[in-house]
Structure formats: structure tokens, C-alpha cells
Amino acid sequence: MSFIPHTQEDIKQMLKAIGAGSIDELFKDIPVALRPKSFNIPAGKSEFEVTQILRRLSLENATGLVNFVGAGFYDHFIPAAVDAIAARSEFYTAYTPYQPECSQGWLQAIYEYQTIICQLTGLDVSNASLYDGGTALFEAMMMAVRHTGRNKIILDSGVNLIYRTMLYTYTSNLSIEFVEIPVVHGQSSRRDLFKHLDDKTAAVILQNPNFFGAVDDYSDVVGQVHKFGALAIASVYPVSLGMLKAPGEMGFDIATGEGQSLGIPLSFGGPYLGFMAAKSELVRQMPGRIVGATVDSEGKRGFVLTLQTREQHIRREKATSNICSNEALCALRAAVFVSLLGREGLRELAEHNYQKAEFAKEQLSGLSGVEVKRSSPTFNEFTILLPRNADEVVQRMIDKGFACGFPLGRFYKGMDNYLLVAVTEKRTKEEIRRFVDSLEAVL
């Protein structure tokens, strides 16, 4: 099946209009020596056959496990209305809204998304989306480097290791100096952080809640960072913002994060949604598309892509970023998700996550040999110390039907017995009880 509408007669007429004898003639500029040495692609299949093949493959994935794995990517419920709107093909088969008059739906939706991101983060401006939380953090870091003209980055080791690894990868050819700050008792070590903070520092990068699930109030850190003329960057988990102090309230200059938790399926790692919000004075350093409101020739409100002189298609090698495609459809999902929930719904969602995680903590702390780390408060994810290697426990729990958490030994040396456990609103009291019972049985 090829989805091509042309009849033989169409092709004949079109070739005649072109003045070509055959379709092959149209490819005459490709020298014979450069024709494919092979093109061993299997013959085409019907829609039914392909659907069957992929149905079978989908069933080879284990999705029946009760999930307590988070580590920055969470198993949240997605209301049906989010899927219904994202399935409108007037949205998903359009392209970047370069032509505003025939793209007002997209442009307004993105303007609303930008507003929602500003409302959640407590900051002034947002862009139209970036690829994911990790690339958004890299872009934020580069904004700080350009803004300050400095190249030292203080990076808290409570920032997701996946993101830290991405930052190191992206800067391997650039002259950026990183200093990593240890996490002590679950929270960023102020002592180490302040020791390294100086007038060469471009930015301090923190995460809230941090990778271990610990919640912090970084207002004190941000105050110090600003004294040295550096920028403070927070990577945040948007669902937690229904409860936690917003980055803007703590004084952060830029907030980024992974928006997957806002109505986007886990989908084995993507497509996800990198969001970014900043103080208004940084807007010209922002990467990516930005939508602005304006008026038409009759004074009627409308929306356009704006500040395009920052972007690669105009500024080329001097652009603030090379980003072109973004994650617009995921941004739309986030906008619909948050609009549906509203202020009450998002507060409720955060509350459910917090309550359920606290319940799980309480239940787990009753298990002998299990220590729930309580040095700092947490939101919906927390660290437990097991009496044996967490990898083994994870394996045994899979057999019992649970993805029971993320073993920290994979990312942190000397933490082989630690497990990071996430509890979202989807986990019922009964599931949590069974989880605790099963854990007891395998220990």
C-alpha cells in the first residue's frame, strides 16, 4: 500500500506536460555510478498485516506490572479528553504555524500553553516547547553562559543523572567548567555550594524535588547566587507545582523541566515535552519558537510567531539555538490537561500524590530491615535503604508483578542497597499494601 492517488493515465498526462518520456528520465541527474548498490527492503504489507505485527510486538512488552518506578518519568492518569483533542487531525497534521492567518488555532493554543507554564512556574515568559527536560536544561544553561559571559556551572548532584550526563555530552566540545555539589542528607549541600560560588559562575543548577525525591526551599541559595551576578536555574516536576513553592517564588531566573507528567504517555521515552520559563529580561536569550499576541489590520486580536530574529532560520550560526521542530503536540496535551484540571484539579492531583507516597512510606517503615530515608520531606518519591542489593529485590519483585522502584546503585556509587520509589495518584491503597507485603516476602 503506498497512499498514492495517481492512475496510469494521470502519470501519462503529467509526463507529457513536463515533456519527459518516462519517470526515469526525471532522475537523469543522478549518475549511474551513484545508483543504489542494493535496496533490500521487504515487500509491502497490507494495513491489516502491519497492524497485526505491531499488535503482537506491543504484547511482548510487559505493561501489566504495578508501577512504582519514577526517576523523573511518571505513571499518571490521562483524562480521555486530552487524547480526544490531541487526536484532532487539524492539530496533528499541521506544521509549524509560519502562516498565522491559517494557523490561529495552533498559535492561540501555544500562547495558552505558554501562559500555563508561566502560571505553574511563577515566571514571566515561556517558549513554545523544547524536546525534553534534559535538552531544556542544556538550553537554559547556555542562556546563562551567554547572558553572563561566564562559563562556570555549579551543578547539584541531586539533578537527575540522565540530565547531568546529557549536559556533559553536549558540552564536550565547548569550554564549560562544571563543579558538582554533593547531596548531603538528601539535600544540596549549602556549604559546598557557597564555597564554589564566585564571580566566574554563570549559573547554579538545582532540581526540585531532587532525584532522591527530597523537597527543598532554595530561596537562600538563589539569594546568594544573585549576589555574584550568576543565574539560578531550577529543573522542576510540574505536577509537584500543584503543591510546592514555585521556582519564581524562590527567585529562580529560569525554570525547565520534563512535561511528560502533564497528560503525555510514558511511551518508552518519547515524545516528551521540554518546558522552559524565565524572567522577562532573559526572553531574547531564549531558544525555540515563541508565540506573541498582536492585532490584525482591523485591530482584532491574533497570534504570531515572534522574536524570530533569535532563531536559526534567520540568524543561522549566530542563533540562540539550532532548534527548529519542537514538541508542539505534547505542549497541546499539557495545555488541555492543565485546563481540564484547573486550579482545584492540579492541587488535588498533587495532594493525592503526596498522601499516597506518605502512606507508602509509613507502611514501608513497618518492615523490618527497611529504612525509609526521612532527613528531608518528599513529594511523591522517596528513597529506602534495603537490607540487601536493590537489583536482586527489583528482579524478585518483577516476578510478583511489581516494578518496585529504581535501584540507585545504577547511578550512584555505594548506593547498591538503595531503592527510589515513586507513588502516583494511580496507585491504590490496596496496591500499596500488596507492594509492601510482597517486598516483605522477597527480603
Partner 1 sequence: MKLIFEKHKDGRRGFSYGLVDVGGAKPLPEKYRRGAALPLPCLSELDVVRHYTNLSRLNFSVDTNFYPLGSCTMKYNPKFCERVAGFEGFSQLHPLLPQLSGGGMLAQGSLEVLYETEKLLCEITAMSAFTMQPLAGAHGELTGVMLIAAYHKDKGARRKYVIVPDSSHGTNPSSAAIAGYEVKVIPTGPDGYMDLVEYKKQLNDEVAAVMLTCPDTLGIFNPRIREIADMAHKVGALLYYDGANLNAMLGKCRPGDIGFDVVHLNLHKTFATAHGGGGPGAGPVGVSQKLVEFLPISRVIRCGDGTYALDYNYRKSIGYIAPFYGNFGVILKAYAYMLCLGREGLIKAAEIAVLNANYCQAKLKSYYDLAFDKTCMHECVFSAMRQAKNGVHALDIAKYLIDKGFHPPTIYFPLIVKEALMIEPTETESKETIDAFIETMIEIARLAEDNPSLVKQAPVNMPIKRLDEVRAARKLDLCWKPQN
CA distance 168 to 11: 53
Shortest spacing between CB 358 and partner 1, in angstroms: 3
Least CB distance from residue 199 to partner 1, whole Å? 25
Using alpha carbons only, what angle is made at residue 125 by residues 90 and 200, rounded to the nearest 5 degrees? 135
Site mask, partner 1, residues 239-258, x = CB under 8 A? --xxxxxx--x--------x
Q: Of the listed pieces 187-195, 226-234, 306-314, 367-375, which binds partner 1 according to CB under 8 A?
A: 306-314
Span interacting with partner 1, options 26-34, 186-194, 199-207, 367-375, rule CB under 8 A: 26-34
Among residues 41 and 368, whose Cβ is nearest to partner 1? 41
Give the nearer residue to partner 1 in terms of CB position, either 189 or 377.
377
73 makes contact with partner 1 (CB under 8 A): yes
Identify the bridge partners of residue 179 per DSSP, sorted by sequence position: 154
Q: Smallest Cα–Cα separation from 433: which of 406, 411, 402, 412?
A: 402
CA dihedral 279→282→288→294, nearest 10 degrees, is 70
Q: Does 215 engage in binding with partner 1 (CB under 8 A)?
A: yes
Contact 272, 264 (CB under 8 A): yes
Binding mask 393-432 for partner 1 (x = CB under 8 A): -xx--x----x--xx--x--------------x--xx--x
Longest Cα–Cα distance in the chain: 84
- Least Å from the CB of residue 366 to partner 1: 14
Starting at the edge strand found earlier in the chain, the sheet holding 381-385 runs: 371-372, 381-385, 418-422, 406-407
- Placement of cell 531532587 in the chain: 210
Rule CB under 8 A: choose which of 66, 128, 206, 222 binds partner 1. 128
Residues 332-391 that bind partner 1 (CB under 8 A): 332, 335-336, 338-349, 351-352, 354-356, 358-359, 362, 377, 379, 391
Among 328, 386, 408, 439, indicate the residue that binds partner 1 (CB under 8 A). 328
Window 129-148: residues binding partner 1 (CB under 8 A):
129, 131-135, 142
Nearer CB in complex with partner 1: 18/184: 18
Per the CB < 8 A criterion, the answer to whether 117 and 126 are in contact is yes
Q: Residue 21 interacts with partner 1 (CB under 8 A)?
A: no
Q: Which of 153, 222, 304, 439 binds partner 1 (CB under 8 A)?
A: 304
What one-character DSSP code corresponds to residue 317? Answer: G
What does the alpha-carbon distance between residue 269 and residue 61 come to, in Å, rounded to a whole number? 14
Question: Where does this chain touch partner 1 (CB under 8 A) — which range of 145-153, 179-187, 318-326, 364-372?
Answer: 318-326
Identify whether the C-beta of residue 389 lies closer than 8 Å to the C-beta of residue 415: no
For 40-74, b/e burial (b = at least 16 CB within 10 A) is: eeeeeeeeeeeeeeeeeeeeeeeeeebbbbbbbbb
Instruction: Rule CB under 8 A: choose which of 191, 325, 374, 387 binds partner 1.
Output: 325
For partner 1, which is the closer residue by CB, 196 or 307?
307
- The single residue among 190, 228, 367, 392 that binds partner 1, judged by CB under 8 A, is 392
Give the integer Cα–Cα distance in Å for 84 and 338.
Answer: 15
Under the binding rule (CB under 8 A), the answer on residue 105 touching partner 1 is yes
224 binds partner 1 (CB under 8 A): no
190-209 residues near partner 1, rule: CB under 8 A:
none
Closer residue to partner 1 in complex, CB, 189/308: 308
Nearer to partner 1, 83 or 199 (CB): 83
Task: Tell me phi and psi for residue 20, to 5 degrees.
Answer: -110, 145
Dihedral over alpha carbons 210, 420, 274, 117 (to 10 degrees): -60
> How far is residue 295's CA from residue 401's CA, in Å, rounded to a whole number?
56
Return the number of the residue (195 or 293) whose C-beta is nearest partner 1.
Answer: 293
Give how far Cα 409 sits from Cα of 30, 147, 181, 383, 416, Å.
54, 37, 19, 12, 4
Check binding of 439 to partner 1 (CB under 8 A).
no
Q: Which residue has the cell 529560569?
A: 254
From residue 388, alpha-carbon distances to 276, 382, 401, 438, 440 in Å are: 40, 18, 20, 15, 12
Positions 145 through 164 that interact with partner 1 (CB under 8 A): 162-163
324 binds partner 1 (CB under 8 A): yes
Which triple of cell numbers denotes residue 373?
530515608
Closer to partner 1 by Cβ: residue 241 or 255: 241
Near partner 1 by CB under 8 A, which window of 8-16, 199-207, 230-238, 364-372?
8-16
Q: Residues 20, 195, 227, 437: which binds partner 1 (CB under 8 A)?
A: 20
